[in-house]
Structure 1
Amino acid sequence: MIGLSESKLKEATDLELKALGLSQDLVIKNIDLASEAYGAGPLVEIATRGTLPYTAVNIIQPRYDSAILGTPVITQASNSRTRKTGNWRVFRPEVDQAKCTGCRICYLSCPDSAISIPEGKPIVDYENCKGCLICLEECPVKAIKEVIEAR
């Protein structure tokens, strides 16, 4: 066993089996059996490859206003716009604009806010759509179809 001493194994076995309401005789037999199994296992060395280089992130310290105003003020835009999360998608949703009624259910159900409604009909942001297809399942008129992602 890696990272588990025999004494800790015995202690954990004792606590677990007593909590189940087993008799002391059965607890002792199980502890002895666990100890025997522990000793029969091979020793395993863990090979490590060292550490990966770490690049520090520029951390912005929030400015604090007085207690009357209350909360910290973040003065720099977040970086979520630069993170493209649609790269691992297998299927993508495609909206049939002619069939779409503009009900906005797909927009409301998208967990990643990858659907916008700029002119009354949904547009999918494929750079951020993860392909969960919740929009397809929720569309009441089935105006969204599942298309395999071609890369």
Structure 2
Amino acid sequence: MMLALVMLFLPVLAQASSCELSIDSTDQMRYSKAELTVPSDCETVTLTLNHTGSLPKTTMGHNWVLVETDQLSALAKDAMAAGPANNYVPSDDERVLAATELVGGGESTSVEFSVADLKDKDLSFFCSFPGHFALMKGKFIIE
């Protein structure tokens, strides 16, 4: 009986964990992954950003911003102008599909977002802290 229950809920547990992503960032302005992939059956995704460095967010802060790839450069430029009070993310900007808050060394943050309307889009992620965009970016794939 117990095995039957485990087998019944195993697909739900597998889906939950595959719809949860984690990525690390460092004091060397790098993400731990250049590509993040989630299955197309995910309705929502939870992404956790861990800053594994030791520098404070005022000098080496990191965030994670999801955007359509063709909007990446323009949004990165506008994001820097948004300033630290806004986590370097423009408020109410439709190009921002998801974003974490800014974190410093030893801190973590998470964001949960829907991928229902994103499945046929070319997506990228980046850090919008000033000067980080060139090195801290990657692809977000829904397959």
Q: Same fold (TM over 0.5)?
A: no
- Whose Rg is larger? 1
Q: Which has the higher contact order (CA 8 A, sep 6+)?
A: 2
What TM-score do you get using the length of structure 1 for normalisation? Answer: 0.22
More helix by share: 1
Q: Using structure 2 for the length normalisation, give the TM-score.
A: 0.23
